[in-house]
Amino acid sequence: MILALQGVPLVIVSIIAFIIILGVIILIHEGGHFFFARRAGILCHEFSIGMGPAIYKKKWKETTFCIRAIPIGGYVSMAGEEVSEELVKTGQHIGLNFRENKVCEIILDEKIDAMIRGEVVEADLYGKDGNTLFITIYDGISNQYFEVLNDASYVFPKGKKMQVTPYDRCFESKSLWKRFITLFAGPMMNFVLAIVIYLIVAFCTGVPNQKSTTIGAVSYGAAEILEVGDEIKEINGKSVSSWTEVSEAMDTLVENAQTKVSVTFLRDGEKKIEDVECTTYIASLGLSNIQAPTKDLPEEIEGLIVGNVELRYLKDKGTYPLQNGDIITKIRVDRYEDGKFTEGVAEPITSWGQLVRIFNDVDVANVRLEYYSYEKKGIVSLEESSVLQTYGNEVLKNQRIEKIQIRVGISPKNHFDFFGSIGLAFENFWSDFTLIFRTLALLIAPSGIRQVGVNDLSSFVGIFSLVETFIGAGFLSLLAFTAMLSVNIGVMNLLPIPALDGGRIVFLGYELITRRKPSRKVENIINNIFFILLMILFLYVTYHDIIRLINK
């Protein structure tokens, strides 16, 4: 199933999908905070999805529910979370409205009518020690003492209201456990959402039937020879009786630099033997023959036709970057050893197997290519070409990426397996959960040559670009992407960084160890500083996302 709306441009569909995906993830996250805050008896002033100006507001019971214009982020405004100046001070002129002889509204705008007005003499609208909330005002004749209802409201200019926040309804008044679960609930709900989605995907798609050798799907060049339903009997002359054995046979291709496979299979009871050209992807360099175009080649040019490329340019791309359909004719690999690059020898390239043999034992290296450019209609020499750099073995292993991938383009037939689907769902969840920690390790761990930096991170612009990609892959793929994104947002919020849920949980840990609460003023200052730093980082990453999008 392909996500598409007939007659609607892909970018519009992508924007809609992007808003829905982020909206659901944020709604679930903030919903977790809100649910457990209410369970703990914490007053929630506002539940907001998005940032910026409000485009929709609706008050229900004590909380104003709000949708804001910019569909990134969200928050639950809980009473007592932050330090703020007292709204009612001695000497201030205010107005009061009453219900059952008690104050129900404190009018802070002189233009709004009030039952009584006066100057504040004394007030306690917090009641930390269980005291009754009250205000004493001087009405021009005498001091008047009034009790204040616990659900009374401040009334600001333009009629905006906010409920008073007595101590017993504040976040800080609750036990450590209730505060912890309120903070942890947001990321926890992101994890729950991801697991539920992965379960749905696994139950819909099933799991690979490893006991069978029947082909369930074919792709790329294999589709010209093999068909769904073919039963594989031999790989390169070796008998196979399960898909596990098929996979084991395929695993030897990289080691042997073999890019063509002899497949013996049964189709409608007839035995056939065919040679299948494999797709080759040098993941460390980002070079492949996947979807290489079939177009007329210059007879005098010998080399490899390039398919999809994801090259990592060490410097700017130059005038003629390597593109799909160009023909590689020579390569020079400068290896990084003992803290420096050693210049290699340029050699002609005539087969993908040759390229596989070269990069099988290459770690970090700077690479120059000579190639025929269709854009230039001529050869780009080694000296003219931009420098490429391979991702090292450590980076690839950390991200669980195979350095070289040789694929026949076949996959097993899926079947329904209840417990297998559950296992697969949790396996996918765990892989996504640990991914961000593996990435952070690359960012902060000491390294002789750093290959992953802040520039490689993605903001919401990068996420939107990925949404466009997954839309074309179908609804279930988009669901799986949503799960991955939900896990990442959950983990990010749990990092011990002030201004994030994890940083606030660290302050609870401090309170648990020292048996005293940290200064709200100090905590607020630290949170604000890190919030500003995170916004600067966000803008920096977004800038590089936009540059990548432009250069794409």
| Tens-digit pLDDT profile for residues 192-231 | 999 999 999 999 989 989 999 999 999 877 888 999 999 9
Q: For the ranges 102-111, 418-427, 456-465, 496-505, which has the lowest average pLDDT?
A: 456-465
State the amino acid at position 446 in one-letter form.
P
- The predicted-structure confidence for 336-365, as pLDDT tens digits, reads as follows 887 888 889 999 998 999 999 999 989 889
Return the minimum-mean-pLDDT range out of 163-172, 224-233, 452-461, 529-538: 452-461
Is residue 463 pLDDT above 70, yes or no? yes
DSSP state of 507: H
Residue 510 confidence class, pLDDT cut points 50, 70, 90:
very high
Which residues is 369 bridged to in the sheet? 331
Q: Return the pLDDT at 439.
A: 79
Confidence of residue 18 (pLDDT cuts 50, 70, 90): confident
**What residues pair up with 47 in beta bridges, in sequence order?**
65, 76
Confirm if 345 and 358 have CB atoms less than 8 A apart. Answer: no
| pLDDT of 84 strictly over 80 | no
Specify the 3-state DSSP secondary structure of 416: coil
What pLDDT was estimated at residue 2? 41
Question: Measured between alpha carbons, how far apart are the two ends of the chain, in Å?
Answer: 27
Q: Which residues of 356-393 are buried (b: 16+ CB within 10 A; e: fewer)?
A: bebbeebbbbbbbbbbbbbeeeebbeeeebbbbbbbbe
Q: Where are the beta strands (DSSP E) in 133-278?
A: 134-138, 143-155, 161-163, 207-208, 215-218, 231-235, 238-239, 260-267, 270-277
**For residue 191, how many other CB atoms are within 10 A of its CB?**
20
Predicted confidence at residue 301, as pLDDT, reads: 81
Task: Pick 548 or 323 by higher pLDDT.
Answer: 323
Short-list 304, 303, 244, 234, CA closest to 273: 234
Rounded to whole angstroms, the Cα distance separating 108 from 90 reads 13
Q: What is the mean pLDDT of the chain?
A: 87
Report the pLDDT value the prediction gives residue 295, as an integer from 0 to 100. 65
Identity of residue 154: Y
User: Is 169 in a helix, a strand, or coil?
Assistant: helix
Torsion angle defined by CA atoms of residues 36, 37, 38 and 40, in that order, rounded to the nearest 10 degrees: 90
Q: How crowded is residue 207: how many other Cβ atoms within 10 Å of its Cβ?
A: 20
Q: Which residues pair with 371 in a beta bridge?
A: 328, 380
Q: How many CB atoms are located within 10 Å of the residue 103 CB?
A: 24
Classify residue 334 by burial, with Cβ atoms within 10 Å: 0-12, 13-18, 19+.
middle
Residue 394 in tokens? 């450590």
For residue 224, the one-letter residue type is: E
Residues of the chain with CATH 2.30.42.10: 209-279+408-415
Q: Does the reported pTM lie above 0.85?
A: no
Q: Using the predicted structure, report yes or no on whether residue 6 has a pLDDT greater than 80.
A: no
**What pLDDT does residue 425 have?**
94
The pLDDT value given to residue 445:
66
Instruction: Provide mean pLDDT across the span 520-546.
Output: 83
Q: How confident is the model at residue 121 (pLDDT cuts 50, 70, 90)?
A: very high
pLDDT tier for residue 3 given thresholds of 50, 70 and 90: very low
Instruction: Give the Cα-Cα-Cα angle 443, 183, 432 (nearest 5 degrees).
Output: 40
State how far the Cα of 372 lies from the Cα of 295, in Å rounded to an integer. Answer: 13
Question: Per-residue pLDDT for 332 more than 50?
Answer: yes
For the domain made up of 209-279+408-415, give the CATH fold. Answer: Pdz3 Domain (2.30.42)
Q: Are 400 and 427 in contact (CB under 8 A)?
A: no
List of residues 6+ apart from 199 with CB closer than 8 A: 421, 422, 425
Q: Note whether 279 and 356 are within 8 A (CB).
A: no
Euclidean distance between CA atoms 8 and 3, whole angstroms: 11
**Hey, CA dihedral for 33, 157, 150, 84, is it positive or negative?**
positive
pLDDT band with cut points at 50, 70 and 90 for residue 456: low
Question: Residue 266 is which amino acid?
Answer: L
Residue 385 pLDDT exceeds 90: no
Nearest to 69 by CA among 32, 19, 18, 27: 19
